[in-house]
């Protein structure tokens, strides 16, 4: 695996993904009943926006750093910014950007639990160090897809699984659907959210058709594109599909998603949408 998220941390796709994750975790917190948070590709947890990788790409300048100036943002943006600014080392300026494990750490309650999986030993070791002695969290250095067989179902059974692979392979969706089939067998009541890049829309049509077939129950789709989705030479947008989403999640995302394009670029996004690929009849 050659992918290192440090080159892309805090970019527009991260902002979109983490706003969706925050909306999901807020929904899970509306009930006192404990839940589990599971992640298959966790990364290192915290990223230095002034480090050499981030400086090389400067992708955060078109992402999280666009939201830092004070503005009349929606409540969801303010919640997200407050969480990011609360990271250690961000008192003077926004330097450290949290990955999804630290967003989960900020949102999980005492009764909740988390299982984080990261294949790369250096990244997994750093994640363990950053999480410290948080007894709610368990970090496993192993392949995320293989881990689904050994770690599911978690305890508590109520929970959320985040699948956020690097998409280094052209057949990444084959692994994703194999993983989803494992989840269907071992943790059938889980809410599952899968992040994916958008380059050419045509490349995703087969994925949409499979998710629309009803085999995975309710499937919510949310997408955010800053550029026309007609070339594979750049990241034009990002999407998530959510299996068995919590009640009202679609309305939560619809409330803030139209504001994200103007917040990042000063104009409407090329496309943003929230719809159902498969809905409960």
- Please list the active-site residues: 164
SS3 111: coil
185's CB contacts (< 8 A; 6+ apart) are none
Letter string b/e over residues 164-196, b meaning 16 or more CB atoms within 10 A of that residue's CB:
bbbeeeeeebebbbebbebbeeebeebbbbbbb
85's CB contacts (< 8 A; 6+ apart) are 94
Per the DSSP assignment, residues forming a β-bridge with 208 are none
Longest dimension (CA), the chain: 51
What count of other Cβ atoms lies within 10 Å of the Cβ of residue 33? 10
Residue closest to 214 by CA, chosen among 169, 277, 172: 277
Give me Rg for the CA atoms of the chain.
Answer: 18
Per the DSSP assignment, residues forming a β-bridge with 38 are 115, 161
Cα separations (Å) of 15 from 87, 110, 111, 147, 181? 16, 26, 27, 27, 28
The encoded tokens of residue 224 equal 């955010």
Residue closest to 198 by CA, chosen among 164, 232, 169: 232
- How many degrees, rounded to 5, is the angle at CA 244 between CA 241 and CA 246? 100
């Amino acid at each position: 695996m050659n992918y290192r998220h440090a080159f892309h941390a805090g970019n527009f796709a991260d902002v979109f993904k983490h706003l969706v994750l925050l909306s999901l975790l807020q929904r899970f917190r509306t009930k006192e009943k404990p839940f589990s948070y599971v992640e298959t590709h966790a990364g290192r947890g915290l990223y230095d926006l002034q480090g050499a990788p981030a400086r090389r790409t400067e992708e955060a300048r078109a992402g999280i750093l666009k939201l830092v100036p004070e503005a009349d943002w929606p409540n969801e943006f303010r919640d997200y910014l407050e969480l990011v600014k609360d990271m250690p080392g961000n008192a003077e300026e926004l330097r450290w950007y949290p990955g999804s494990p630290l967003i989960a750490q900020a949102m999980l309650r005492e009764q909740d639990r988390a299982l984080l999986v990261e294949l790369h030993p250096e990244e997994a070791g750093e994640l363990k160090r950053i999480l410290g002695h948080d007894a709610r969290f368990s970090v496993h250095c192993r392949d995320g897809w293989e881990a689904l067989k050994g770690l599911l179902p978690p305890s508590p059974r109520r929970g959320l699984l985040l699948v956020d692979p690097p998409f280094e392979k052209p057949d990444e969706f084959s692994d994703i659907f194999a993983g989803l089939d494992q989840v269907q067998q071992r943790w059938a009541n889980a809410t599952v959210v899968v992040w994916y890049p958008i380059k050419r829309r045509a490349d995703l049509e087969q994925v949409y058709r499979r998710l629309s077939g009803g085999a995975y129950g309710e499937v919510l789709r949310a997408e955010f594109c800053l550029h026309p989705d007609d070339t594979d030479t750049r990241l034009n947008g990002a999407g998530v599909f959510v299996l068995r989403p919590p009640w009202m999640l679609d309305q939560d995302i619809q409330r803030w998603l139209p504001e994200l394009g103007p917040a990042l670029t000063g104009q409407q996004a090329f496309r943003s949408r929230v719809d159902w690929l498969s809905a409960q009849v």
